[in-house]
Amino acid sequence: MSKIILRLPEEFSFESNFQFLRRSPKEVLHRVEENYVVKLLQVDKELLLFSVREGRGTLIIDFLNASPSAKARSVVKTYVHEWFDLATDLRPFYLLAKKDDLLKSIVKKHYGYRIVGQPDLFESLIWAVLGQQINLSFAYTLKQRFVETYGEHLEFGGQNYYIFPSAARIAELSPVELLPLQFSRQKANYVVGIAQAFAEGRVSRAKMTGLSLHEAKEELMKIKGIGNWTANYALMKTFRHPDAFPLEDAGVHNAIKNQLGLRSKPNLDRVRRIFKKYKGWEAYATLYLWKSLV
């Protein structure tokens, strides 16, 4: 089968980024083996299964189930490039972080870690909503049930590989159909409502590309169920807004407490003051603070 080779920036750690992909055994949208990850994408009507592995200063994409069309090759190449955040020049952030008491030890330990993203905006928003007010393990359980029930799949080598359900498919549901998956009634309403916003064309990645952080947050927060945290999460993971910052995030607060040896978590005003130092790089400061908790 054919392959694609992507050149890596110097500031890229294969192990740190793949460690993130391994964080739950319940993950249903990719399968991580010892030194590669396998993922399924749909391009028009093509279901394409591919693996990503490390080369010498490169990522190598191998197509596993079919020889892709030229369009499909281009889509997969772009997807992987975005997935692993290869376009971001981290050097200015590292210069800042290495002089910062809060971040310098984390950056040294996890040098080359990037925002492993979710290029699909619908997936990013639904995942953020699924995780609201529950622990990460149960969020993965809900995601697994949701994807296996409503997503397309391909069987290959004795394994089932899934793609995330389409907004059009979920928009057709009644929220009560999600309750047997152990969705709360509120969460089911939010998920179907977000899907309907996409299906009706009220929101899309294309429409939001190029918007400022403030404009993009305003658009997302018009949709019921999307608050400041969820909007900022999607803007980090899908649009790579480097200044997206989930101010209210409990993980960020705990990481600051741990790194600075505080007796209690900082209040929001102190978090704001701390993050002023990272202006333009708030998303990456958040990323590394999260990483310090693992």
- What count of residues does the chain have? 294
CA–CA gap between residue 294 and residue 285 (Å, rounded): 15
243 is catalytic: no
pLDDT, residue 78, reads: 97
Pairing relationship of beta strands 30-32 and 36-43 according to DSSP bridges? antiparallel
**From the candidate CATH numbers 2.60.40.1180, 1.10.1670.40, 1.10.3300.10, 3.30.1360.120, the one assigned to the domain spanning 89-112+238-294:** 1.10.1670.40
pLDDT, residue 273, reads: 96
CA end-to-end span of the chain, whole Å?
37
pLDDT, residue 294, reads: 85
- The closest of 245, 241, 248, 252 to 268, measured between CA atoms, is 248
Domain residue extents for the chain: 3-87, 89-112+238-294, 121-148+164-228
217-243: buried (b, 16+ CB within 10 Å) or exposed (e) per residue? bebbeebebbbebbbbbbbbbbbbbbb
DSSP 75-117: HHHHHHHHHTTTT---HHHHHHHTT-TTTHHHHHHTTT-----
CATH superfamily, domain 121-148+164-228, is: Hypothetical protein; domain 2 (1.10.340.30)
Query: Token pair of 228, please?
Result: 């400041």
Given CATH 3.30.310.20, say whether it is the number of domain 3-87.
yes
pLDDT, residue 102, reads: 96
- The closest of 52, 61, 74 to 4, measured between CA atoms, is 61
Question: Could you tell me the sign of the dihedral formed by the alpha carbons of 219, 225, 231, 236, in that order?
Answer: negative
Question: Which pLDDT tens digits describe the chain residue by residue (294 residues)?
Answer: 589 999 999 999 999 999 999 999 999 999 999 899 999 999 998 999 999 999 999 999 999 998 899 999 999 999 999 999 999 999 999 999 999 999 999 999 999 999 999 999 999 999 999 999 899 999 999 999 999 999 999 999 999 999 999 999 999 999 999 999 999 999 999 999 999 999 999 999 999 999 999 999 999 999 999 999 999 999 999 999 999 999 999 999 999 999 999 999 999 999 999 999 999 999 999 999 999 998
pLDDT, residue 241, reads: 94
pLDDT, residue 133, reads: 87
Name the active-site residue from 120, 243, 249, 269. Answer: 249
pLDDT, residue 88, reads: 97
